[in-house]
Amino acid sequence: MEVQERIMDTAFSLFRQFGTRSITMDDIAERMGISKKTLYAHFTDKDDMVCQTIGRFINIVTEDCMEDRKKSKDAIDELFLVMDMLDRRLRNMNPVIVLDLQKFHSKAYQLFLDYQNNILATMIRENMERGISEEVYRPDIDIKILTQYRIHGCMICFQPEVFPGANDMNKVQKVLLENFLYGVASVKGYRLIEEYKQLSQNK
């Protein structure tokens, strides 16, 4: 792995735990056992590091979602696989990170918004179209409205004030996705949801 990638991995590990605001370049250099000069050889400043680090994470998650789509048996299986992937990727993530991006790192926050409004929206829409064609989702669902509904459902777990006392954002995400699935599922899809839930619980 290149030095720049290792720096981004270390930085993201700290950002996900504590947010971006409270982590300094000194903290990252100390965690890696390198000089700040080495950091600045790869990044213009902290804002540049945050932007590249968030961009890299978005790319990794997007690639994982594409792989899950390829190996899934149907649209519902795809979402269960994505849910497992997000459980690994978002585990122990502090939701304050998005608020920090919004307040202090406008370029990185714009990357996040672009992902939300383009890549994520496309994946959600295509999953619903797939589910309808496979007859696991109801044919009468409004894809346009439900795409926006699902996008905001994905993002709401980054708003800790909405779920006071819920420290596990993955649990929030799972509950919201499960209820979304029940809402769009056909009778055939409902049976598949129950089947995949059972398999997931037995892992």
% of the chain with per-residue pLDDT over 90: 72
Output the pLDDT for position 78. 96
Among 138, 142, 147, 148, which Cα is nearest to 182's? Answer: 138
Asked if 39 contacts 29 with a C-beta cutoff of 8 angstroms, the reply is: yes
Is the per-residue pLDDT at 60 higher than 70? yes
Output the pLDDT for position 89. 80
Mean pLDDT, the chain, integer: 91
Output the pLDDT for position 165. 65
Is the per-residue pLDDT at 167 higher than 70? no
Q: How confident is the model at residue 106 (pLDDT cuts 50, 70, 90)?
A: very high
Output the pLDDT for position 90. 76
Is the pTM higher than 0.75? The answer reads yes
